[in-house]
Structure 1
Amino acid sequence: MLSSPGGPMERQRNTRLEALLTEFDFSHTSLAKEVNKVTGEIFGKAGDCTDRHVRRWISGEVRWPWTKYLLPLERIFDRPAQGLGFVPRGKHSANLPTPPQLRSPAPKEVEPVQRRRFIAASAATVVLALGIDQTPVRGRLSMSDIDRVHERIGRLDAHFFEIGGGPLAETATAYVGRLRDAQDSCTYGGRVEKALHGAISSLYASAGWAAHDGGEPARAALLHTASLQSALLAADPSATARAWSNLALQARMEGRHREAVQITKAALESRRARQDPRIAALLHARLAIGQARTADRSGAARSLLAAEKAYDRVDAAGPAPTWLGFLSPAELSGLAAITYEALGQYDRAEAATTQALRLLPPSMRRSHAYYSVQLAELQLTQRDRAQAAATVQALDASSLDSRRIAGRLAAVQRTLTT
């Protein structure tokens, strides 16, 4: 029988919330647990949400949950209730109260709303959001399990490119621990064994970058060394080239520029670097920086040209691995700018940095902030304080979590105020 016009509203599935569960890798049960955890943070008392609540929200049976559920959901997904696909019962119900701990007598003390839940998240929360705790630690592992591991590693890397290190070093090392448990407790064949070592190498490399971004150079060095060890156990040429590249960068950051040049040259001799133009382009660009800092001007120029030539062959190389997702014409321009700066060619460095910023896609917010700070530093070096101030003013770093970038930005701001 058809319902009358005044009858109950037809149930409509909340596809928006359903898509968010997929995006953040939540099951009904894990989201309910997260809601209860955040409820405790907001109200001082753990919630009573269950997987049944989540099912009713998604099915459309409940179109506007109680406030005690909506406030945690808004914080978890960092968007308003209606942005989660919920429909208010009336015009007044849409006006949710301010969560207790966010009320403040001095508005200036309230922290700005984070654009991404990842930014303020603890490592444990990030582990839950990515579904890292779902990686099996018993039974038999297959290549499908490894594919899912790499998918999660790719998501970790994507978050780094977007917001910086944040909790990712802890998250990646926690995931390493999970995979170590799988190595010890699961059964698998030789192919899966090597793939596991390769995944662990990737995680160590990601953790090393996050530690470097978080201002922990000693920890970063240990993680990059561990990445190389696992890459060798995996017999993975790409992972090995990545590890050597990161170790060369680590040496450069510690002021050991000749060692950095030697490591990079050795990496360029590998079969993988000869076969993969992306890796070759990255290594040549980083080699140019090392050569510039060891006063090898002609070598630096040759390496920059070699990086351009290698990148010209990228289109025929197929899709890039996720860890090389940052490598683009914009990144090569930025690396060239660092080379020019080391050579004392500040005008060329400024022009190359400006080009990098122009070419960067909006999603690469960390890179945009990094090269914006670099541009302001170059402008100050050339005594263009007004332009440096304008560059800093245009930079929005509020949604980033990178101590390294924040420290450099603070130094620029101090210089501008003295």
Structure 2
Amino acid sequence: MDRQRNTRLAALLDEFDYTHRTLAAEVNDVAAEMFGKPGDCTDRHVRRWISGAVRWPWTKYLLPLEQIFERPAEAMGFVPRGKNSASLPVPPPRPLPAPKEASSVKRRRFLTASAAAATVTFALGIDDTPSRGRLSMSDIDRVEKVIGRLDAHFFSIGGGPLLAVSTAYVDRLRDALDGCTYGDRVAQALHRSISSLYASAGWAAYDTDDTTHAALLHTASLQHALLAADPSAAARSWSNLALQARIEGRHREAVQITRAALNNRRTRQDPHIASLLHARLAIGQAKTADRTGAARSLLAAEKAYDRVGTTVPAPTWLAFMTEGELSGLAAIAHQALGQYDRAEASTAQALELLPPTMRRSRAVYGVQLAELQLAQGDRERAAATVTGLDHSSLDSPRIADRLAVLQRTLTT
């Protein structure tokens, strides 16, 4: 019989991130649990299965393979030797693992969450993420789609219920990190996803005015970005930590952190991240009275943004970084330099350019516009701006507090 390469099995190794050696080790581990004695599979066996030299492995290998890839032998590309070989014996039952107390605690956390958080949790499909078994890149793809939907919720409604949702999902992915088996590529992707979730949770904490918690979450985000060996994820974490430093009044530190993020060549080459970092660097420089530096950084942000569209699309967390957002960030820098007229013009431009779906950003810059108008003594226009704000669907205590201060000032 002519030898024919088993392309189905080769594709499964790629999807589940196995090498010949790691699959052989996994077969031996499953065989030990299944038959009560160590397996003897080697990478040579796997090579022979893929090359087609062996088209129907022994039962002691096939049963573990069926369990690992969760499909019958023929669906893995194996060809039976005869009618009898196609009927595999049923493997002995495996004992169910004892329930973990931690799992019940986390389940109670889901059940006692707010109704809004529970609704978002159900809508995102967080409970569908496995915490046991073998993880493949297709599992990671599903995780990233959930995170993308989570980011979209934040841009639309703010951080309110998303803090509980994000941290609960982090717990689930960390369970997967400890309880599942996977290859190196999946491990890095899993750390990248956890880093992204910590960053989202940090922003949700910021929206609820819990800056101490936000700082811890952004630090955890950086830790997992480094474990993922992903410069873009690390740049996101550094950018968030720089913003955290600015919130706490440590403006020179914010400048230093942002510059450190821009030192990475890959970060500078990504126009989406580079434009964000240069714009935030300009704000930090403006806060430290570095007018020349701020002007230079704003120009660098514009030049970086000019390259958007010539490269790959931005990740979902950077969907907010539009031309309107760039104008809004420039306005913050102008305001820090005392240039209120330029700040007001840039903020108005931001509101013209931001799409209606970015309700959180539109609310932020709407409040900012009213604050700038009030700072220049134009109470009538500030009142009109406040009246025209659409914040009914937002869940952001930080934005609500700024708006409340404005309304009290205008009615005094």
| Same fold flag (TM > 0.5) | yes
Q: 1:1-400, aligned counterparts within 5 Å?
A: 121-400=115-394
Q: Which has the larger radius of gyration?
A: 2
Deviation at 1:155, TM superposition (A): 0.4
Paired letter, 2:139: D
State the SS of the aligned residue for 1:230: helix
Paired letter, 1:306: A
Deviation at 1:276, TM superposition (A): 0.4
After superposition, the CA RMSD in angstroms is: 0.9
- CA-to-aligned-CA distance 1:284-333 (integer Å, 9 cap, x gap): 00000000000000000000000000000111112110000000110000
- Matched residues, percent identical? 76
Deviation at 1:273, TM superposition (A): 1.4
Paired letter, 1:284: H
Deviation at 1:124, TM superposition (A): 3.0
Question: For residues 179 and 159 of structure 1, what CA distance do their matches in structure 2 show?
Answer: 20
Contact 1:237 1:271 in 2 (8 A): no
Stretches of structure 1 that go unaligned for 5 or more consecutive residues are: 1-119
Question: For residues 307 and 362 of structure 1, what CA distance do their matches in structure 2 show?
Answer: 24
Deviation at 1:123, TM superposition (A): 2.5
Question: For residues 256 and 324 of structure 2, what CA distance do their matches in structure 1 show?
Answer: 26
Question: For residues 393 and 172 of structure 1, what CA distance do their matches in structure 2 show?
Answer: 33
**How high is the TM-score relative to the length of structure 1?**
0.71
Question: For residues 131 and 408 of structure 1, what CA distance do their matches in structure 2 show?
Answer: 33
Contact 1:258 1:290 in 2 (8 A): yes
Question: For residues 195 and 273 of structure 1, what CA distance do their matches in structure 2 show?
Answer: 18
Contact 1:372 1:391 in 2 (8 A): yes
User: Closer, same or farther in 2 for the Cα pair 1:242/1:417, shift >3 Å?
Assistant: same
Question: For residues 321 and 302 of structure 1, what CA distance do their matches in structure 2 show?
Answer: 26
Paired letter, 2:212: A
Paired letter, 2:340: Y
Question: For residues 185 and 291 of structure 1, what CA distance do their matches in structure 2 show?
Answer: 46
Question: For residues 191 and 306 of structure 1, what CA distance do their matches in structure 2 show?
Answer: 34
State the SS of the aligned residue for 1:128: helix
Question: For residues 183 and 318 of structure 1, what CA distance do their matches in structure 2 show?
Answer: 29
Question: For residues 280 and 153 of structure 1, what CA distance do their matches in structure 2 show?
Answer: 22
Question: For residues 309 and 129 of structure 1, what CA distance do their matches in structure 2 show?
Answer: 39
Contact 1:168 1:207 in 2 (8 A): yes
**How high is the TM-score relative to the length of structure 2?**
0.72
Paired letter, 2:256: Q
Deviation at 1:271, TM superposition (A): 2.4
Question: For residues 127 and 254 of structure 2, what CA distance do their matches in structure 1 show?
Answer: 37
Paired letter, 2:193: A
In the alignment, which of 383, 389, 399 is matched to residue 405 of structure 1?
399
